[in-house]
Structure formats: C-alpha cells, structure tokens
Structure 1
Amino acid sequence: MRTSPYGAIAFRPDARRLTVSAPNGELTLWDTADPARPQPAGRLRLGRGIVAAAWSPAATDMLATASADGSGALWRLRDDRPPEGVARWAALPDRPRHVGWVAGGAWVFSMTGSGRTSVWDVGSGACVGRAELTGGRPVVGAHYRGSEVVAVTDSGWARLWRPGRRPGEWVKLTDKPVSACTWSSTLLVVAGPDGQATCFDAEFRPAHRLRVARDRPRALACADDGRLVASFGDDQAVALDRDGSVRWVTSLRARSLQIAGDLVATSGGLLRPTLLTLADGKEPLAP
C-alpha cells in the first residue's frame, strides 16, 4: 500500500478483508466477504499513526504496518477474533512511505520516500539488513521479487536489493518520469504524466505499452491476468484489457486502487471504501 494520500488501501488477496487509512493515523479494517455490503471490522493504531499496510502473501490473517514514528508491526487479523498485535520493531529513524513482504512472507520491509530501507525477519524479529536503496531519489513504488526488495523512482529507474548484500545495479525502465506504478504476480506497470504506461515482466523486460489515461494517472492497479484499472482527472476511472482496449469507464473519485480476485477496491477520501466488479466497473449487487 502506498502511503500519504488520505484513504490509501490494502486489499487482502482473497478479497475478504480491506484496510483504509485515515488522516488521524487510524487504519480501519473492513469485512468485504459480501462486497455489496462492506462492514467495519475493527481499527488499528500504533505509534504516531499508521501510514502504510500490506497483507502477507503467505498467511491471509497477517498484516504488516509502518507508523509515522518509523516503527513497524505485525498484526494477526483472524476473521472471527479482535485484532492481535504480534510483533513490533524500530524499523526506521524517519517516516516510512512503503511497507511490504519479501521472501514469500518470511521478511517484512519498510521504506521511506527517499529509499532508506530496513528488512526484518518475521519469525525471530531480527533485522536482516538496512540500505540506502535509491541514494535519496524519490520512490514512487516499492515491492519485492523473490528475496529482493524493489524500488521504482520517479525518474524511471528501478533498483533491487537482496538484504545482506549491497544494493544491485540500476535498471532503466523508461526515459520519462514515473507518476504511478503497480504490480501483479506477473507484471510491473509504470505510468507517466502523459498517461502512457509500460508493462514489464519479472526480468524487467518490456512486455507491452498502452495508454491508461488521458492525463496523469492518480492511481493504478493491475490484475494477475494483466488487466489494468487507472483513475485520472477529478473523477474518472478506466479499465483496460492487456491489449489496451477499454473495458469500461466510470465516474469515480479514486485516490487509491487495488485489485483482488474479480473486485476493484477504491478509496477517494471517505473512510468507507467503494468496491467495483473488475468485469464491468459496477458495484456488486446484493444476493
């Protein structure tokens, strides 16, 4: 989950739980098992407020968070029990902007907006490594590839780091600035202020290019099959197939987007999220 914007979200891969951030530092948990009627399922708060969250790729009930004071935490969020704090550590000396999982869920990373990164072992709580990953270059998005942390900068470069080693070589993705990026299990997608996007495979080789918006995308999400959803302008969102054909366009103010299964979770400033079906962009109907 990228941080900062009010309403940033993290959608659990099974599409049954969703977190939404608020300016007061609270993280609201939503039960989305019935997508037509999302229900509040608890609130989390830690340190000077939670600014980023990410669900584990290995354990559906585990959530990693990063707080404004630089601390990281793990939570166990079982569907039938109150939230449980599992671990906490002093991850960074300044405010994080990104949090995520590495090595299939064995490690958790926290990263600032300037690329300062710490990685922690989930089982032991030990620090696996620290690095200045981008040399101060602004980070647009952070994710992982296997046991490597990946940072994408606003200047169109990516850098990988395997904790315990020195950061790797820079990878040039695009000659243009990057204003939004997203990942799926198969693709990395970066988009520029002109609305053009490039999709890359796991080795950072360009797979295809397409236009995702008429102007600068505000948010971007990618499904595992390559379908994209982008928000742009004041209140527009568009879904595209992998070949760039438009599947649907809708009026929607979305600052954050994530896809899980056949659902798109969006948040545009209100605490209550909006869920859309990926196929047609409509709100799910109650059974």
Structure 2
Amino acid sequence: MAFAGAGEADGGRALVIADSREIRVWRTHGSLRPTPGPLLWPVGGGRDVRVSRDGRTVAVACADGVLRRWDLSDPVRPVPLPRLDAGRKNLVSVSVSREGSLIATGDGTDGAGAAVVWARRADGRYAHTDTVPFPGRRVTEAALAPDGRRLAIGLDDGSLWMCALDRRGICRTRTEAEHAGNFAAGMAYSPDGSLLAEASSGGALLLRDPLTGTVLLTLEHPTPLQSLAWSPDGATLITGADAGGTAHAWRFPLPVLLGHTGAVTDVATHDGRGFAATASTDGTVRLWDVSVPERPKQAGRLEHSGGVSAVAFDPAGRRLATGTADGQVRLWDVTRPARPRLLDQVEGHDEDVTALAFAPHGTRLASASYDDHTFLWDVRPDATLLRRADLTTPSTAGVSDVAFGLGGRLVATAESDGKVRVWDGDGHPPRRDGHPTRRLPMREVPLHELPAHEGIATTVAFAGPRSGLLASGGQDGAVQLWRVDQRRALREPRKLPEPPRRHTRYVTRVTFAADGRTLLSAAEDGTAALWNVIDPYRPVVRVTLRAPGESFTGAAPTEGGRRVLTASGSVVRLWSADATAAAARTCATSGAPLTREGWRRRLPDFDYRKPCD
C-alpha cells in the first residue's frame, strides 16, 4: 500500500491511497475518520504515490508498468491525465522534481531493473527521455532531487547509484555510492535538497549526502522499514515499518551537525558568538551556528586541498586557525562565516598538525604535530604568522595536544612519552627570578616535565585564561589534575588526587567550559563526562554522556557546559547536559509524566525529580 496527501480548494485535505485492490481519494476531516472519495482506478496495483508540490496532481506507479496520473484541482471530480508508459513491466516507485519538470520511476522487474525518466515539454506533456538499465538486478527505489539535477537509484542487492542529470533528464554520469548492506525500501530527498533519506529494509533510517550518497548518519529502528515521506516544510520525516503497521515521526533538524563526508578530527566552539567549527578528513572545515541549539545550521565552509586535523578559534571568535594533515597552518578571517577569507598560510610541520591553541591575548598561536615539534607563532598586526619558537624535546616521538595558561605565560604540551611538559609561553628561557631573558634563536627547554600517564599523554587543557588549574588525559583512560603556582611559574606544579576513572579507553579530549568550573573529558569508548571542578581536590561527575558503538575523536562544551558537542566518524552530535531541559523534552515526547523507574531508564545520570508538573 502507498499513500500521499493533497490539498483541497475548500481548505480540507485529501488522501490518495493505492493498494492491491484500488486507487482512491479519501477525504479527511480533522480528527474524524477519513471518508471514501472518488475512485481513481478500480483494479489497484498501485505501488507508490506522489503528489505534486501544489497538491493538484497525483502520480501512481503501478505494477503493470504504467505511471497513472490525475488532476486533483477538484478532488471531488478528479480528471485523468495522459498515462506514461515506457514499456516497463513493474513500476515500484515514483518521484517528481520540485517544479514538476521531471518524473522518475523505478522498475522492479526481476533481472531487468531500470530507472525511467520523463521530462515535461513546452506543451505541458511529458516525454520519455532516458532509461538507466541495471541488467540482472531490480530497482527498489528511485528518488529525484528537488532541482531535478540528480537521481538516486536503489537496487535489490543493497547498492545505491547516483545519476547526474542534465536539463533534459538524461543521466550523463552515474557513480556507486556507499553500500549500507540492505536494500532501500523507501527513499526521498528533503524538500530543500540538503539530505537524501533512505528507509532500509534492514530496519535503519539512513541520512545520506545529497550529491555523493555517502552515509552521514544511521538511525536504528527495531523493525524493517518499508516507506518514508517528508512533510512539505522538511520539518518532519515519516517512516513506515513493515511489522505491526507502525509509523514514526522524526523531527528535523536533528541535534546533529551533518555534512562532512569524512571523519571529523577536531571540534572547537566559541560561546560569545554561538559558533562551532568542525575539521574533517574530507578537506573541509565547517562553521555552524549553534546559538539556537534546537536548530543548528551550517553557516560557512572552509576548503582545503587535503584532510584537516585541527581547528581553533581566537579569543574574539573572529579568526580561525586550521591545521592540515600535511603540516600546514592557516589563519582565516571568519567574521562573516558565509564568506571566510584566508589571511595567511605557512608550511609549519612535516606531519599532521595534531592541535592548535591561541593565547588569551590572541597575538600568539601554538601548533603541535606528530613530527615531535610544537611551534609558537606570532600573529602579527597584518594577520600574518611568524614563527617565534620551537618547543621540542629530543626524547619525545610526537605531540598530541597543546594549551596556553596563566594569561599566555605558560604553554602545556601532551606528549607521546606519557609526560605533560610546561613551557615558557613567550618562547624563551626565564631567569631564575621568573622574568624572561632576551629571545634566543634555539630550541627551548621545558620548565617542568610532569609524569602524567602510562603510555601516551593524549590531551591537555588549562581551566581558563588566567587559571593555574591544568588537566590532562591519556592512553591509560585516566584524567589527571595539576595545580600550577600562578605567582611562581618555576615552582613544580602540584599533582592533585586522581579523579575516579570514567573511561575504559584512551581519553581523546579534555577541555574546560568558559567558566573554568566545568571540565569535559571524552574518550574512544564513546563516553564523555562533565566534571564539577570548583573543588579540584574532589572533582565530581555531573553528567555522563554515552553513545554506544561510537568513538569520540573530538569534543567541546558550549553554553558554559550546558551543552556538549561530540564527534564520532563523520557525525557531530549536540547534547543537552541540562537535567531540567532533558526532563522537559522527555515529558513533551513521552505523552505521560515520568515515573521514578522511567526516569532511571531514560535519565540514569540525573537524580530523580518529579517531572512534568
């Protein structure tokens, strides 16, 4: 059975239902039961239904290989339109471009599948313009992009093909997209063309890149899916399940930043501007407006020639530093996110740039790399970068992270020998009284070497622009805290009691919220913890975020730690760490107040409070 909705001139609604018995218009009356309307086709055999954007034309793909159409300008008196027949045997899907200039159908004939395209001529009639054959296979779905420039075709072997169409609807090139395993039982582009949704016969909703078909996000479903449809405004996606006749409504936009086609390597946020930046192996950095967390949206895109491995905002949020897999460091003006401007580019390192950090005053930048070097750069008034110092220890074999502390007076590095090293942030050795000497053209010497972790020290962060609280994370899954003397930087930092371990695999990120009182740690095991460190001698986990099966490669807090961004694969999730907001959202979607048991199941990391009062 297939169905689609259409508007009526009197403000009511019409529903076209096609099944094995008949194709009929049904009238809907608010919450009342629909009543049968005109019979469109008495034989049935309808496999898929689409209604034009204006609600006036319905097209039905039929099992006899014919595409039947009706004019529903007056749903009480539908008018048959010329049927479209390209000599196929078993049409299983139909799709219409936004303006109705193209129609595509899928032929599910065993061993002789094909996608068929019709184009509207100047006289309003449709002409068959192309057939895309798939010998030995059958087509399960065919979906046109709203602008009619791309056609996605799903086959019974689970493969997905993307056709680039010219203005006449002819497939000029076709490429195979990422294979997701099961065949597409339903498929449609979002109304704005930004996503391709696929209902998998295996029971998952896949969101794909609209151009390449790369899977951006997989949303699991307990039973196989058989259909899907977008609402006209793109705010809701309805999926129909095979078992039990159930349907689910997915609200968009999701609290997920979608768009990267490669693994996300780093995440940075700037609370003051409400922006986030994500770096990826796909050669892009994407800027996101997360000022309205419920509706995150992409605000800009920075193109690179290769993979991007690190990203950092300057204190004002107007400039962005990016580091690449081939060792380059770039400085961008992102005052206007939609039109980022490259300010400078330097060949800094011989291997991946692993981390970037700005000093609190914004005139100095640090870059770390697997090539064993940490460089300090002066950000000059003309927005160019000049290398100031090389913070390198011969015994190390790679630097994983770098951070500024004490107003930029100190630099901390997390290194492969398990140590956290603390350096003079001015890039030249201090005198014994703590005051800097003149700059020397030589490698610097660390002020302190802190034995921090078994294995690699993977990440490091200071609690704030002028704070002496230092945190580190390592391959051993531990988080360590240190107290640096704010007046006497040469005094050995004090190691604080180790917090209870919350991660089972190595910690990929430690970073502090803007208030300096909340520490975020994220790990390869798909867990992230928010620690209250008001008393750093007794840190307390406030919230634990869990994403089973994921591996966090980056994380960053925003809104003072009330929300968290985590990266895993090509997906960046936006979490709420606010118990009140989580309860309100659950109340709004659960349909009934949460019991104590329901609270424990849904919000296991929050103390129970009676919700929904």
Alignment TM class, shorter chain as reference: 0.7 to 0.9
Determine if the alignment matches structure 1 residue 41 to structure 2 residue 340: no
In the alignment, does 2:487 pair up with 1:198? no
- 1:274 aligns with 573
Map of 1:209 onto structure 2? 498
The match for 1:138 is: 398
Tell me the amino acid that sits aligned with residue 400 of structure 2. Answer: V
Match of 2:461 in 1: 182
Alpha-carbon deviation of 1:46? Answer: 2.8
**Would you say 1:160 and 2:416 are equivalent positions?**
no
1:134 partner letter:
T
Task: Describe the SS at the equivalent of 2:361.
Answer: helix
* Residue matched to 1:23: 281
Secondary structure class of the residue paired with 2:397: coil
Q: Is the 8 A contact 1:179 1:193 kept in 2?
A: yes
Contact 2:510 2:521 in 1 (8 A): yes
Report the equivalent of 2:330.
73
* Equivalent residue, structure 2, for 1:230: 521
Q: Does 1:248 align with 2:537?
A: no
Aligned length: 280
Shift of 1:40: 0.9
**1:190-247: CA deviation from partner (whole Å, max 9, x where unpaired):** 2345543221234432344312414233443333443333334643333332333332
* Aligned residues of 1:265 and 1:274 also touching (Cα < 8 A): yes
- The separation in 2 between residues aligned to 1:120 and 1:69, in whole angstroms, is 18
Aligned counterparts of 1:44 and 1:102: Cα–Cα separation in 2: 23
Residues 80 and 226 (structure 1 numbering): CA distance in 2 closer, same or farther, change over 3 Å? closer
Q: Deviations over 1:104-135 (max 9, x none)?
A: 21022222124313333222435242425132
Q: Cα RMSD (Å) of the superposition?
A: 3.0
Q: Say which SS state the counterpart of residue 104 (structure 1) adopts.
A: coil
Deviations 1:230-272 (A, max 9, x none): 334643333332333332333223331112323211111234x
Contact 2:472–2:480, Cα closer than 8 Å, also in 1:
yes
* Aligned 8 A contact 1:115 1:151 in 2: no
What amino acid is the match of 1:160? W
Instruction: Flag the 1:22–1:167 CA change in 2: closer, same or farther, 3 A.
Output: same
CA distance in 2, matches of 1:11, 1:46: 20
Q: Distance in 1 between matches of 2:350 and 2:503?
A: 39
- TM-score between both structures, scaled by the size of structure 2: 0.41
CA distance change for structure 1 residues 29 and 159 in 2, over 3 Å: closer, same or farther?
A: same
Distance 2:313 2:277 in 1: 9
Deviation at 1:85, TM superposition (A): 1.6
The structure-2 alpha-carbon separation of the partners of 1:184 and 1:256, relative to structure 1 and needing over 3 Å to count, comes to same
Per the alignment, do residues 212 and 278 of structure 1 end up closer, same or farther by CA in structure 2, a change over 3 Å counting?
A: farther
Q: Which amino acid aligns with 2:570?
A: L
How far did 1:77 drift? 1.1
Do 2:512 and 2:518's aligned partners in 1 also have CA atoms closer than 8 Å?
A: yes
Tell me which moved more, 230-239 or 36-45. Answer: 230-239
State the distance in 1 between where 2:508 and 2:484 align. 24
Bigger Cα displacement from structure 2, 154-163 vs 104-113: 154-163
Contact 1:11 1:55 in 2 (8 A): yes
Higher alpha-carbon deviation: 191-200 or 8-17 = 191-200
Uncovered stretches (5+) of structure 2, i.e. residues with no partner: 1-261, 428-438, 486-492, 586-613
Whole-Å Cα distance in 2 between the matches of residues 18 and 283 of structure 1?
25
TM-score normalized with structure 1 length:
0.82
Q: Tell me the equivalent position of 2:511.
A: 221
- CA positional deviation for 1:47: 4.1
2:333 is the alignment partner of 1:86: no
| Residue 102 of structure 1, CA deviation | 3.0
Identity within the alignment, %: 20
The answer for unaligned runs of 5 or more in structure 1 is none
Sort the Cα spacing of 1:5 and 1:11 in 2 relative to 1 into closer, same or farther, 3 A: same
Distance 1:176 1:141, change over 3 A: same
Give the equivalent residue in structure 2 for 1:169: 447
- Larger relative contact order (C-alpha < 8 A, sep ≥ 6)? 1
